[in-house]
Amino acid sequence: MTVSARIEGQPRVVVGPVPGPDWVRAAVEAGGGVIVEPAEAEAVVWGGPPNDVDGLKSLVRAAKDARWVQLPWAGVEFYVAAGVFDHDHVWTCGKGVYAEEVAEHALALALAGLRDLPDRIRATSWAKQSGISLYDGRVTILGGGGITEALLPLLAPMRVDVTVVRRSPQPMPGATRTVCVFDDDGESPRERVHQTLVGADVVFLALALTPETTGIIDAAALDAMESHAWLINVARGQHVVTDDLVDALRRRTIGGAGLDVTDPEPLPDGHPLWDLPNCIITPHTANTAEMARPVLTARITENVRRFGAGEPLIGPVDPDLGY
């Protein structure tokens, strides 16, 4: 389904949950939109929490003439699981909006791990030298979206050999090579992923959560990694089998893990991951609300403007792929 150009007037937008957050309403109006009641709306901009799928469904049903729905988050697995997406609307989300901040955080976690900063921060006496430089090293990134696009330029000055693993064979600028997980060469996607982990100093997870990527880092994947390598997850906690990761960190199968997301999340007090010296945990702060609001505001404003002008929208969601 495509969005046709409007002949007259301004886009009529309902902001949810009605009446909607003030900053979302301001973003819509800045894009030339007029905020209306659901029955009058030709577009829905959702500003509610991601787990309020019932509220979103109800609003979309009420806005029976709406052709476009804007979601605020990059990850849309809540909506996929609830069966929200259809082919009757154009769906867009916040994909790519938070990429720079998340890529920055991912690199910080990687460098902290390779340089043994967790041990240094806890230390109360002088210790022996240790640490690994990422210059001229090797990196594997699972995922070829906005975070990876933002991460590759950060890695470029370090002359890193980068392998990007993605669904598409389309090469990514800045990557040494791109591996398509669905190449028809007789290997399973999981086997192909495991091959790309061998030799990497850092493995970044920056991919969408789908049934195919849930648990993609399990015991077999961790065994394929180098004993000094760090796993950095800034995607979704469910990409990693947590019990397998705890075991690998305890046995030093890998060097360590930097986790901005966990499974479960929030990670409960007393969970084994908290006590592992080779694990850095940040509470889903690669992108904070304070960082997100300005860039998400700009995305909403631009998409409202584009909708009114009949131009392609940014951040489309493929209902079949689920991201």
* CATH 3.40.50.720 domain span(s) along the chain: 12-97+289-309, 99-281
User: What is the mean pLDDT of the segment spanning 132-148?
Assistant: 97
Percent of the chain with pLDDT over 70: 96
- Predicted TM-score (pTM) of the model is 0.89
Amino acid 199: pLDDT:
98
Nearest CA-CA partner of 276 in 243, 236, 241, 238 = 243
> Average pLDDT over the chain, rounded to whole?
94
Give the CB-side neighbour count of residue 162, counting CA atoms within 13 A. 26
Tell which wins on pLDDT, 321 or 107: 107
Q: Which residue has the tokens 């959560």?
A: 209
What's the pLDDT score for residue 243?
Answer: 98
Measured CA to CA, the distance from residue 167 to residue 199 in angstroms comes to 21
pLDDT band at 277 (very low <50, low <70, confident <90, very high): very high
CA–CA separation, 46 vs 37, rounded Å? 13
For the cut 60, the answer to whether the pLDDT of residue 177 exceeds it is yes
Pairing of strands 256-259, 230-233: parallel
Q: Which fold has domain 99-281?
A: Rossmann fold (3.40.50)
Separation between Cα atoms, residue 169 and residue 180, nearest integer Å: 5
pLDDT of 44 > 70? The answer is yes
* pLDDT tens, residue by residue, 234-275: 999 999 999 999 999 999 999 999 999 999 999 999 999 999
**What's the pLDDT score for residue 185?**
66
Q: How many CB atoms lie within 10 A of CB 153?
A: 12
- The whole-number pLDDT of residue 2 equals 40
Q: What's the gap between Cα 202 and its chain centre? A: 18
pLDDT of residue 203: 99
pLDDT of residue 105: 98
Among 12-16, 119-123, 187-191, name the one with the lowest average pLDDT.
Answer: 187-191
pLDDT surpasses 90 at 183:
no
**Residue 178 confidence (pLDDT):** 97
- pLDDT tens-digit series, residues 207-219: 999 999 999 999 9
CATH homologous superfamily for 12-97+289-309? NAD(P)-binding Rossmann-like Domain (3.40.50.720)
> Which positions are annotated as active-site residues?
236, 265, 284
- Where residue 202 falls among pLDDT bands split at 50, 70, 90? very high
